[in-house]
Amino acid sequence: MADPTAGRIRKIREIVRREPLATQQDLVRALRREGITVTQGTISRDIKRLGLVKVLDGSGRYRYALPGAVPAGARPLSTLQRLHIAFDEFVAGVESALDLILVKTGPGGAPPVAQAIDDMGWPDVAGTIAGEDTILVVPRSRRAGRSVLRRLRDLI
């Protein structure tokens, strides 16, 4: 019996090579057109497994690319650009709970947003914990919490 994950991964590689996909939802739709039904959470894991990167292509649009196969004229995104894209694509809201911060996303959106926050390397963030649709951001102090909350809310 064929491994469905391996087949899906092969199909994702094909699609990313031929189509300019800007969001995980674009990839979900492209796979659906190929007869493969997946959740956004599965796509998020597949993107990580494949090491797909988001690049700014020659026409000024964001798209996924395979590592080492960045299209001509495209350039990798900065960490801050990736954070902005993750917030635009997934985040529904940011709120405080005592000295902690909760970031709410759609289903499957928490892991990529938490990774983008972690990648920022903010010294006032001790870390993040991501579920399926909620991220707990742990600031290093109460003052840091207020600052991080403002920064995250400014991204919405």
Q: Decide yes or no: CATH 3.40.50.300 for domain 79-154.
A: no
In the chain, % of residues over pLDDT 90: 46
Tell me: the pLDDT tens digits for 4-48?
Answer: 788 899 999 999 989 889 888 899 999 999 999 998 878 888 888
User: Quick one: the chain helix, strand, coil %, rounded to 5?
Assistant: 45, 20, 30
pLDDT higher than threshold 60 for residue 145: yes
Pick the CATH number of 4-76 from 3.10.20.30, 1.10.540.10, 3.40.190.10, 1.10.10.10: 1.10.10.10
Short-list 100, 101, 99, CA closest to 91: 101
User: Parallel, antiparallel, or unpaired for β 134-139 and 125-130?
Assistant: antiparallel
Categorize the per-residue pLDDT at 2 as very low, low, confident or very high, splitting at 50, 70 and 90: low
pLDDT value at residue 70: 62
Contact 155, 110 (CB under 8 A): no
Answer whether 133's CB lies under 8 Å from 110's CB. yes
Q: Where are the domains of the chain?
A: 4-76, 79-154
Q: What is the pLDDT of residues 75-117, one digit of tens each?
A: 667 788 888 888 988 899 999 998 899 999 988 889 889 999 9
> 136 has which bridge partners?
102, 129
Domains 4-76 and 79-154 share a fold: no
DSSP alpha helix (H) spans, the chain: 4-18, 24-33, 40-50, 79-90, 110-120, 142-154
Mean pLDDT of 125-146: 94
